[in-house]
Structure 1
Amino acid sequence: MINNITAQEKELDRTKPPKAGPPKDVKFPEYFDTTLPNGINVLVIENNKIPAVSVRLVFKDAGSFNDGNKFGLASLTAELLTKGTKSMKATEIAEEIDFLGGSLNAGSDWDGSYISLSVLKKHLNKGIDILSDVVQNPVFENDELSRFKEQRLSAILQGKDDAGNLSDKRFNKIVFGDLPYGNPPEGTEESIKNITAADLQDFYRNYYTSSNLIIAFVGDITVDEALKFTEDKFSKLPEIGMNKTNSFKYSDPESYKNVYIVNKPGAVQSNLRIGHIGIARNNPDYIAVTIMNTILGGYFGSRINYILREKHGFTYGARSYFNPHLYSGDFSVDTDVRNEVTDTAISLILEELKKITAENVTDEELETVKNYMSGVFPLQLETANAVATRVINLKLYNLPKDYYNKYISSITSLTKDDILNSAKKYINPEKIYIVVSGDAGVISEKLKKIRGLADL
């Protein structure tokens, strides 16, 4: 009956939204995983709900970590893959992909180089033909290389006017020294000028091999189709290139005892980069570290942003980051503040680093960030290319097969003690490197109150 209202219903407060239940795990798609006799690792996720396919190739070791002393070599090699083959010019490749209504992108990061194709299922055969051509038959023409080198040199010169870019470069060099992570992946003026087409060809031969290749097919495609494409279209790749064993041996420098200033005369703001070595992507504490860092400085409602922006009005925004790579990574706090508050801002950041390593976070902080991170994760799986990237990352970083299926429950199960332990383990307020890009003539005396100054 209409008027039959229970006692429980009478107690409902309809002016407030119902309390949300605990976040539920996201079911990551099942995937086929095999390694062919030539070493290619093939991953397939079938989804015929949309008549489209994304194909992503990652060549392990073909990243900036293996640039040697030719900084920028990996990124230039990857970018020029789509700029000409033995049978097609760069314009022809672009026109063909555009005609298919697809996309073809290539690039690199520290851990490898990638090339991805997205195309409707009805155009997949033609799309794969183009993809296999650019992967197996690049020519690295001198004209295209010269054009890309000019663009890169222009970007490097522009970066010298960017305080944040200057801080990044100095910070990475101080933290990692002569290790690869201490070098700029985009290159330097000197290194880019000295890179030749022969260098690109050598890098390609050494690292673009079948034994280095992980290829993921996601979308309206069967396992049999994916395997046939791989066997028929990517058989020209050499199996083995350079016999290289990567190693990462880190020794903690003593440079945390000083403040490093990158002089930018006339600057009205100081860019701060404060941090130290971080973690590798496959670190078992990665999720706990991510939640801890989000509370500290990883989103707008974080502690560091509140202190510097909301409470003191020193900046428009302040963030902290853990940037994990295959072998290691870095942790840093990044912000821009007015010259006159540079020293105060640094002191406040150091206080927050000490606090996060000494005291438990609050229940409210932890629950807010758990809900935030649990809500963000499904949004990161909305496209086929995003799913392809994620499934490749499982293999590239040697993560458990059920990693994504357990991702949200791994977040929700974290306790305040877990967060405190991760902070104590991976943030050391006593060995923090401080880099400031700004007007040395204005800020030097203030910074001497914090630590000694390194030579400019």
Structure 2
Amino acid sequence: MKKYILSLTACLFFISFINAQVDRSKRPVPAPAPTINLSTPQSFELDNGMKVMVVRNTKLPRVRIQLRLDNPLYASQDKAGVESLLAAMLGNGTTSISKEDFNEEVDFLGASINFGSQSGFASSLSKYFDRIFELFADAAKNPLLDGEEFQKEKDKLLEALKNNKKDVSTVSRQVSSALLYGKKHPKGEFATEETVQNITLADVKNYYENFFSPENAYLVVIGDVNFSKVEALAKAHFENWPKRNVLDVSYSDPTDVQYTQINFIDMPNAVQSELVVENIVNLKMSDPDYHAVLIANSILGGDFNSYLNMNLREDKGWTYGARSSTGAGKHVTSFYASTSVRNAVTDSAVVEMLHEIKNIRENLVENDKLALAKAKYTGNFVLALERPETIANYALNIEIQNLSKDFYENYLKKINAVTAEDVKRVANKYFLVNNARIVVTGKGSEVLEGLKKIDRGDGTMIPVKYFDIYGNEVEEPNYTIAMDPSVTIETVLNNYINAIGGKGKLNDVKSVFTTAGATMQGMQLGMEMKVTSDNKMSQAILMGGMPLQKTVFDGQTGYTMAQGQKMEFDEKQLADMKEGTGLFPELDPAKATLIGMDTVDGVTAYAVGYGDSKVSFYNAETGLKIKDENTQEVNGTPMKSSILYGDYKEVGGIQFPHTMTVSAGPQEIKFEVTDIKINEGVSEEDFK
């Protein structure tokens, strides 16, 4: 069955500054900051409060439109996800133009129009600007919010949320924010299947009425267009957009934990651990510390040559990247250091992350690293000025973040003025290693014991608290399941063989031809799989009756065919396929190892290893196989995939599973078997 996992997983994946030489003995003399002369966008304000900015640039005959709503923070709470549904529905027609006609005209003009729940974007050639502006305004003011489109987008969101429950990085991101800000804070809430089920079309319309309003809106037009034309178009198409009273709800500022603690989220399917070290930050762009924080964060984890990355990636080789970020803005933000590492080095990586944060807090940064960080910001700033949208973005920030008019003209001067002492000072103020949450999302049975032994530095251990994938505190998981010492590998495999029909029946099977179907994101998929007892396999994935992907193994060689391209198996793939023992690997106990006991969706099961990458799980009570799990490397990263088996039914005197739920990363497809043929419908031609 291992080959099933490999081929089905392939289907699922298919569908789904150069360093300068520095004399370290001398403090480098900083070059004078370049003189920055920023042009100012032409602007005006409509009677309804919308502010319009125009940046003319005639290098290309194109125009871009950006709409940004600077609204207060808002938590949807038991209807979290309503903003995502609104975003998905906006820009798909208007009350006077159907979705099909709207999208067809936009496509015909070679343009694009997209919306978020509080934003919008359009792009077109200059000669079609007038019409695209009109369509964009119509879609913003008069969106087509109908029941059919609502249900379609709601179903898509629910399917995505179902998949996200198994995606370790998504769970880490969501729960980290929920723990830091609180689940009732706008920055801490996230959509779940339960909250999305609560949402009605009326809720989406109410959200639009409450938040999509001109008084907090900024419209930015960039490109080959005259100011006078934009002014005329804005007055013609946006001035009649009525003001609304945008909801403004006050929320208590979140606070940090009193002591550093590990917050652990158990994800049994994790092959890597997601690590986050975080704390609350209250920092505005107008604050005196702002530029020093930029430099400090760059040195710690904001650049390839940062402390975190050079330690965890370049020195230890534990990760492909370790990063940090420190937010700044009108609302509460965070300091956030993160990485992904193998299960085996999870606790060590946490220790090293804390070490580097303490390092920048306790020691002055070296002169060359400080100079390099400043050079990076200078280079990026100067390069950004070559893009016309930069002028608009800077002007927007000055308005929204309440910055001084000369903020960006003095930007490089303030960057260059940052000292090593400044870096140490702000690191102690904003990187709160003694009041941090260390959020670890991973496989508890492999990483938890190591995490529980991490020393604070005073001989006591950092306490560990436990949370589920929704951010609710739970009891410590128990991974110890006692196994009867009399149980052997032969016991487990014989129980399975007897449960499905007996050795005699299985030995009579020379081939099995399975037909199944599934639905994924509204698409109907078919699967035809042929397997023989002498370890040959052919599998085809169909869409609309047409081959989408085909995988073939003739016992010695194999290939995958997709989109007309044939890809021969490499040595590792061939070795994995040859490890198989045909239809029923359980008939050859010499190739199996009894690992122990585990739970699969609450069911106690025996775990049996086949080779170094496959584990099968057998129900301890019924003997039936309930799961196959495979780990393989994809572009150097370990990826875990699995098949859950269920709904066993008798065919020809043998019990076969009639549902197979294939999971790879966050993606999941449930195949339902429609037909099984034993010793018929299979020939040698199927494996060529």
TM-score (norm: length of structure 1): 0.87
Equivalent residue, structure 2, for 1:147: 152
Q: In structure 2, do the counterparts of structure 1 residues 42 and 300 end up closer, same or farther at CA, with 3 Å as the change threshold?
A: same
Shift of 1:307: 0.9
Matches of 1:42 and 1:68, distance apart in 2: 33
Q: Look up the SS of the partner of 1:277 in the other structure.
A: strand
The structure 1 residue matched to 2:110, chosen from 85, 96, 101, is 101
Q: How many Å apart are 1:283 and its aligned residue?
A: 4.8
**CA shift digits 1:348-370 (9 cap, x unpaired):** 11111111112221110111111
Equivalent position amino acid for 2:164 in 1: G
Look up the equivalent residue of 2:102 and give its one-letter code.
I
Instruction: Show the counterpart of 2:518.
Output: none
Q: Deviations over 1:139-175 (max 9, x none)?
A: 2122222222222222222222222221112211111
Cα shift at 1:254? 3.2
SS in 1 for 2:262: strand
Q: Which amino acid aligns with 1:334?
A: S
Alignment partner, residue 209 of structure 2: 205
**Paired residues for 1:270-285 under 5 Å:** 270-280=273-283, 282-284=285-287, 285=289
Secondary structure of the structure 1 residue equivalent to 2:90: helix
Structure 1 distance, partners of 2:393, 2:197, is 32
Matched residues in 1 for 2:80 and 2:35: separation?
41
Paired amino acid for 1:306: M
User: Does structure 2 retain, via aligned residues, the 8 Å contact 1:136–1:236?
Assistant: no
Q: How do 1:318-329 and structure 2 match up within 5 A?
A: 318-329=322-333
Task: Give the AA of the match of 2:42.
Answer: F
Shift of 1:385: 4.8
Partners of 1:318 and 1:333 within 8 A in 2: yes
Look up the SS of the partner of 2:74 in the other structure: helix
**Which of 88, 94, 98 is the aligned partner of 1:85?**
94
Q: How many residues align?
A: 431
SS of corresponding position for 1:320: strand
Q: 1:352 aligns with which of 356, 370, 385?
A: 356
Q: Does 1:43 align with 2:46?
A: no
Per-residue CA shift, 1:361-380, capped at 9, x if unaligned?
A: 11101111111122223444
Q: Distance in 2 between matches of 1:380 and 1:430?
A: 37
Q: Where does residue 6 of structure 1 map in the other structure?
A: none
With 22-31 and 173-182 compared, the bigger mean Cα shift is at 22-31
Matched residues in 2 for 1:197 and 1:212: separation? 24
Across the aligned residues of Structure 1 and Structure 2, the Cα RMSD in angstroms comes to: 2.4
Shift of 1:280: 4.7
Could you list the per-position Cα deviations for residues 290-339 of structure 1 after superposition, in whole angstroms to 9, with x for gaps in the alignment? 22111101121110011111111221211111244541112111111222
- Equivalents in 1 of 2:155, 2:147: separation in Å? 12
**CA separation of 1:53/1:234 partners in 2, compared to 1, >3 Å: closer, same or farther?**
same
Q: Whose radius of gyration is greater, 1 or 2?
A: 2
Q: Deviations over 1:152-203 (max 9, x none)?
A: 222222222222221112211111112111112xx22112222222111111
Give unmatched runs, 5+ long, in structure 2.
1-20, 22-28, 455-461, 468-688
1:9 counterpart residue number: none
Aligned to 1:122: 127
Name the CA distance, whole Å, in 2 between partners of 1:114 and 1:378.
Answer: 27
Structure 1 partner of 2:63: 53
Corresponding residue number in structure 2 for 1:71: 80
- Report the equivalent of 2:264: 261
Judge conservation of contact 1:73–1:200 (CA < 8 Å) in 2: yes
Q: Within the alignment, does 1:449 sit opposite 2:459 as a pair?
A: no
2:337 corresponds to which of 320, 333, 337 = 333
Give the conservation status (yes or no) of the 8 Å contact 1:53–1:221: yes
Matched, 1:179 2:185: yes
| 1:281–1:53 Cα change, 3 Å | farther
Sort the Cα spacing of 1:387 and 1:76 in 2 relative to 1 into closer, same or farther, 3 A.
farther
Letter in 1 for 2:186: P
Aligned counterpart, 1:374? 378
Q: Which has the higher strand share?
A: 2
Cα separation, 2, equivalents of 1:332 and 1:314: 19
In 2, Cα distance between the equivalents of 1:76 and 1:386?
30
SS at match of 2:148: helix
For the residues of structure 2 that align with 1:388 and 1:92, how far apart are their CA atoms? 32
Whether contact under 8 Å (2:78, 2:198) holds in the other structure is no
Quote the offset at 1:44 in angstroms. Answer: 1.9
CA–CA distance in structure 2, aligned partners of residues 197 and 382 of structure 1: 44
Residue 387 of structure 1, CA deviation: 4.7
Out of 441, 444, 448, the position equivalent to 1:440 is 444
- 2:164–2:171 CA contact under 8 A, matched in 1: yes
* Residue 411 of structure 1, CA deviation: 1.8
Alpha-carbon distance between aligned partners in 2 of 1:397 and 1:117, rounded to the nearest angstrom: 24
Q: Residues 406 and 148 (structure 1 numbering): CA distance in 2 closer, same or farther, change over 3 Å?
A: farther
* Counterpart amino acid of residue 53 in structure 1: V
Distance verdict in 2 for CA 1:229–1:273, change over 3 Å: same
Residue 117 of structure 1, CA deviation: 1.5
Measure the CA separation in 2 of the matches of 1:98 and 1:281. Answer: 41
TM-aligned CA deviation for residue 262 of structure 1: 0.9
Q: Specify which of 12, 20, 40 is matched with residue 30 of structure 1.
A: 40
The 1-side partners of 2:30 and 2:97 are apart by: 56
**Segment drifting more, 253-262 vs 345-354:** 253-262
What is the SS of the residue equivalent to 2:180? Answer: helix
**Higher percent of residues as helix:** 1
Instruction: Note the C-alpha offset of 1:391.
Output: 3.1
The C-alpha deviation readout for 1:377-429, integer Å capped at 9, x for no partner, is 34445555555444323322223333333333332222222222221221111
AA paired with 2:431?
A: I
After superposition, the Cα gap between the structure-2 partners of 1:434 and 1:106, relative to the gap in structure 1 and judged at 3 Å, is: same
Cα displacement string for residues 219-240 of structure 1 (whole angstroms, at most 9, x for unaligned residues):
2233332222211101232212
User: Partners of 1:191 and 1:215 in 2: how far apart?
Assistant: 32
In structure 1, what is the Cα distance between the partners aligned to 2:397 and 2:86?
Answer: 21
Give the secondary structure class of the aligned counterpart of 2:407.
coil
The aligned residue for residue 406 of structure 1 is 410
Identity of matched residues, %:
32
Identify which of structures 1 and 2 has the higher relative contact order when contacts are C-alpha pairs closer than 8 Å and 6+ apart: 1
Q: Report the 3-state secondary structure (helix = DSSP H, G, I; strand = E; otherwise coil) of the residue aligned with 1:82.
A: coil
TM-score (norm 2): 0.59
Work out the CA distance in 1 between the residues paired with 2:104 and 2:284: 38
Whether 1:196 aligns to 2:200 is: yes
Q: Deviations over 1:263-291 (max 9, x none)?
A: 11153321111111124553523332122
The answer to whether the aligner puts 1:247 opposite 2:250 as a matched pair is yes
